[in-house]
Chains A and B, each alone.
Chain A
Amino acid sequence: MSPALPLLLAAILAGVGTYGVLARRHAVLMLIGVELMLGAAGLVLVTVGQFSTDPLASGAVLTLFVITIAAAEIVVALAVVMAMFRTRGDVDLTGQAQADDHGVHRDGEDLHREHHRSEDHAARDEVVG
């Protein structure tokens, strides 16, 4: 079997993944692009490992490691995305959207109000005291 076919597929996956990372605004959809690039890396490793006689079996073993690291990476990344969704109210990655972001304003007002309330509490406590 010719090694060119899997290598070409890996190149296509890497290019498509790059496009996905660059052209998406939705944070989770950008992560899909990252996943595709990691898949391309795994495909290159497996292909090279299968077409060479390597006593250490590094192609397959390193692919298993890459898959594990990718799983760890996606877990942390999705946790960050969820934290971002909770504090901002959306998962938009463009800086422009941050300026007129309702979530931030609402949070800011909330903070402000809480601040006032705690001051009121403090004042009342002083009066009571």
Chain B
Amino acid sequence: MTSRDVLFAAVGLITAAAAVLSVTSRRVLHAGLWLVVTLGGLAGCYLVLGAELVALVQLLVYVGAVVVLVLFALMLTRSGAGEVDTSMGHRWIAGAVGAGVTVLLGGTLVAAYGWAGREIAGPSNEQIGEQIFGTWVWPFELLSLLLLAALVAAVAVATTGHRRREGQR
């Protein structure tokens, strides 16, 4: 067991615990804040794995942007929040399905890769940059189009009902 293993176990435990709390917390804002911890912990996991660029992008995009959006949505829809969880039986079934997914995925992935330690041989940041603007440049450009379309669609969807109501009055 190397020091990286120990470090990853520590960060991973925090991440997993925060993930469990973010889906079980009964107060909506607390769930959103636990999501911050989960995604930040995930960025830490990427860092321990040696993927610094992905870790920083994760921190910027998720913790910086997505979580702020989620928190704003939670606060704006606060008055409409009644019961946040389904019934007890439903939750037990959901827990069984979740545990099944965990066992199945974990078993498959660990069986495919094994417990034996390996060297980290990931690409350097220079290599990632070269590949993004070389091999993957067209998917990358398509992504910018997708982001633009998502932005326009979000504005359109979010204002449609508003305009109709104002039109009625």
Q: How far is the CA of A46 from the CA of B53 in the complex (A)?
A: 11
The 8 A CB mask of A89-129 against B (1 = contact, 0 = none) is: 11110100100000000000011001000000000000000
Interface size bracket, B side: 35 or more
Contact of A23 among B82, B85, B123, B155 (CB under 8 A): B85
Contact B123 A57 (CB under 8 A): yes
Contact A89 B80 (CB under 8 A): yes
Contact A29 B61 (CB under 8 A): no
Shortest distance in angstroms between B143's beta carbon and chain A's nearest beta carbon? 5
Interchain pairs with CB closer than 8 A, number = 286
Q: How far is the CA of A87 from the CA of B1 in the complex (A)?
A: 56
Q: How far is the CA of A9 from the CA of B93 in the complex (A)?
A: 22
Chain A interface residues toward B at CB < 8 A: 1-20, 22-29, 31-33, 35-36, 39, 42-44, 46-47, 49-54, 56-61, 63-65, 67-76, 78-83, 85-92, 94, 97, 110-111, 114
Q: Which residues of chain B (97-133) have a CB below 8 Å from chain A?
A: 97-103, 105-106, 109-110, 113-123, 127-128, 131-132
Task: Determine chain A's interface SS by DSSP, over half rule.
Answer: helix
Given A8-B110, A15-B99, A90-B82; A65-B139 close (CB under 8 Å)? yes
Contact B66 A35 (CB under 8 A): yes
Contact B19 A13 (CB under 8 A): yes
Known: A24-B85, A46-B46, A91-B77. 5 other contacts (CB 8 A): A4-B110, A60-B51, A64-B57, A71-B66, A74-B70
Contact B150 A29 (CB under 8 A): no
Shortest distance in angstroms between A34's beta carbon and chain B's nearest beta carbon? 11
Minimum CB distance partner of B164 in chain A: A87
Shortest distance in angstroms between A62's beta carbon and chain B's nearest beta carbon? 8
A-B residue pairs, 5 tightest by C-beta: A15-B102, A19-B98, A11-B106, A90-B80, A20-B23
Contact B151 A82 (CB under 8 A): no
What residues on A are CB-neighbors of B80 within 8 Å? 85, 88-92
